[in-house]
Each structure stands twice: as C-alpha cells, then as structure tokens.
Amino acid sequence: MAVTPTATHAYNLFALTMESRYGNNWRASIAPETIAALADEIVMGFGGHAVSPTLTQSGGSAPTVWRFPDGSHARTGHFGLRREDLEEQAA
C-alpha cells in the first residue's frame, strides 16, 4: 500500500483552508504576504524543516524549500504552497 507523502497532506490543508476562509478567488483577494505566512505555518505544523536559508514570512522574496520527516518536500512563497515531486528534483 502506497503511503501519501506529508507534502500532499500539507498542500491539501493549505488549499482547503484558503478556499474555506476566502472563497475560490482567494489569490486575487489576499495579500501575498498573508498567503506566504499561512503556507509557512501549515508546513511547520506538519513538522517541516526549512532546507533553504530564508523563511518567506520573514520577508524573503525567494521561495522557501521545506523537508518533512518522511522525506517529501514542499515549496512556499507568495504563491502559496506547492509540493515538490522527487521525479522533478532528479531531472
């Protein structure tokens, strides 16, 4: 049985939270800093540790790369939260 990566659970929670709080058009109605802060908070709640040097919520404009305890990865930034697939990283 395949195990769902933690990055997928974090992404799903982020997407559901944004849509339930702000509606389907949340990207256009929320400040980028607010989006980044919530994405970082969710990743940290799932036990993610920053791999890149800066946290987006502390003012960094570059996306933050995170590693979860199960080895899966995610990226956060003003765009929100994205999963990182191992196949894409190897390419």
Q: What is the pLDDT of residues 3-13, one digit of tens each?
A: 899 999 999 99
Number of domains in the chain: 1
pLDDT in tens, 67-81: 999 999 999 998 999
The answer to whether residue 1 is domain-embedded is: no
What residues make up the domain containing 59?
A: 6-90
User: Model-level pTM?
Assistant: 0.83
pLDDT in tens, 30-43: 999 899 999 999 99
* Confidence (pLDDT) at 62: 80
* Confidence (pLDDT) at 71: 95
Q: What is the DSSP letter of 45?
A: H
Distances (CA, A) of 2 to 5, 50, 68: 9, 26, 17
Mean of the pLDDT values across residues 18-27? Answer: 92
Q: How many CA atoms lie within 13 A of 80 on its CB side?
A: 18
- Alpha-carbon Rg for the chain, nearest whole angstrom, is 13
Q: Which two tokens stand for residue 79?
A: 């765009």
Query: Beta strand 49-50 with 73-77: parallel, antiparallel or unpaired?
Result: unpaired
